[in-house]
Chains A and B, each alone.
Chain A
Amino acid sequence: GAVVSQHPSRVICKSGTSVKIECRSLDFQATTMFWYRQFPKQSLMLMATSNEGSKATYEQGVEKDKFLINHASLTLSTLTVTSAHPEDSSFYICSARGDIPYEQYFGPGTRLTVT
C-alpha cells in the first residue's frame, strides 16, 4: 500500500513554456502533499506544502506565481512551472501524507529539463 505516482517521469521543454507535473496517491487519501526539488549535487529542498481544498504554503524564496500548486482532490496535486527557464531545470519530487502521523510516501520524481 501507500503508493505515490508522478507524471511525467521526464520532460524536456523550451524556455518560456509551462509544464505541469502530477502527483497522485494511488491507494490512500492524502490531505497533505509536499513538493520538493533537487538541483544537481544538492540536497532535496522543500518548495511548498499543498493541502486539499486550500491554498498551498510556499517556502521562503519559492515564487508562488511561478510554481502554481493545485490540490483539487484527496488523491491529486499538480505543480505547474510557468514560463520555465533553464534555471528551473531540476528534479521535482512530491510526497504525500496519509492517516499515519509523520509518515510521508514519496513519488518517483520528475526530471525537468528546460532548453
Chain B
Amino acid sequence: KNEVEQSPQNLTAQEGEFITINCSYSVGISALHWLQQHPGGGIVSLFMLSSGKKKHGRLIATINIQEKHSSLHITASHPRDSAVYICAVPLKYSGGGADGLTFGKGTHLIIQP
C-alpha cells in the first residue's frame, strides 16, 4: 500500500510570500491529487497530475515520478489561501484508474495580512 508524507505540517506566512508544500509517496502511482480543505470540511480538488507541471492562477503543482515527489506552490499568497492542503495518491496502484486514494496528513497554511 502506498504511504504519503507531507511537509511542513504547519506553515504560517505573510501575505505575498511564495509558499511551497511538499509531498512524497512510497509506491508508483497513476496520478497524484492536490486538494484543499476549508474549516467547514469541504474538499476542493486543485490538481490531478501524472507528470510535469500544472498551473492554475496563482497555484502551481509539479511532480517528479522518478523521485516519487510532488510540490504545490502558491505565488503572491493571500489570507484567503489559508486552508489545509492535502496530497493524495492511489492507495493500491493497479494502473486501472479506479483506485481509492490515500491521503497525507495535510499542511495547515495560515497567511497573515
Contacts and interface: CB of A to CB of B under 8 A. Distances in A.
A97 B101 CA distance: 12
Interface residues of A, number: 25
Contacts, number: 61
Nearest to B29: A102
Nearest to A48: B100
A105 interface: yes
A102 B32 CA distance: 9
A28 interface: no
Nearest to B96: A101
B103 interface: yes
A108 B101 contact: no
Contact of A104 (B33, B42, B44, B104): B33
A38 B97 contact: no
Interface residues of B, number: 25
Interface string A41-54: 01111100100000
Contact of B102 (A46, A95, A108): A46
Contact of A109 (B43, B86, B104): B43
A86 B104 CA distance: 26
B41 A43 contact: no
Contacts of A105: 45
B47 to A, nearest CB: 11
B101 A101 contact: no
Contacts of A45: 102-103
B29 to A, nearest CB: 9
A32 B50 CA distance: 20
B98 A93 contact: no
B41 A109 contact: yes
A43 B100 contact: no
Given A45-B102, A102-B97, A111-B41, 13 more contacts: A36-B100, A43-B104, A43-B106, A44-B43, A44-B101, A45-B103, A101-B31, A102-B31, A104-B33, A104-B101, A105-B45, A106-B43, A109-B43
